[in-house]
Amino acid sequence: MTEVAKDAIDITEPTLSDEVRVEQRAQLDAAIEAARSLAKVVGRPTDRVVVTMSGHANPDHAPRSGWANECITVSVTACPPAE
């Protein structure tokens, strides 16, 4: 794990299971921007910040049997540095 200042966070593009469509790209970009914004302000300056994201967007935002219509989850956790 590489440590960087909280305001210099670099989020690696996740591995996606299928072709990225326009609506999926828009939601992915919004989730990444939310994660960056939250990581800058959560915890103390010396805390380690862990970001996890998951979600999906249905093609054309259409309901799909057996799936939630759409979902985006962004989790940002601050942990004190290891002693």
Render pLDDT for 16-69 as a digit per residue (tens, 0 to 9). Answer: 666 667 777 888 888 888 988 888 888 888 888 888 888 877 777 788 888 788
Half-sphere exposure of 62 (CA within 13 A, CB side): 5
Return the pLDDT at 55.
Answer: 81
Structural domain including 41 reads 19-61+71-83
Distance of CA 71 to the CA centre of its chain: 12
In a domain, 14, yes or no: no
Q: How many domains does the chain have?
A: 1
Whether the CB-CB separation of 31 and 39 falls below 8 Å is answered with no
3-state helix, strand, coil split of the chain in percent (to 5) is: 30, 25, 45
Return the pLDDT at 63.
Answer: 85
Sign, CA torsion 30/37/82/2: positive
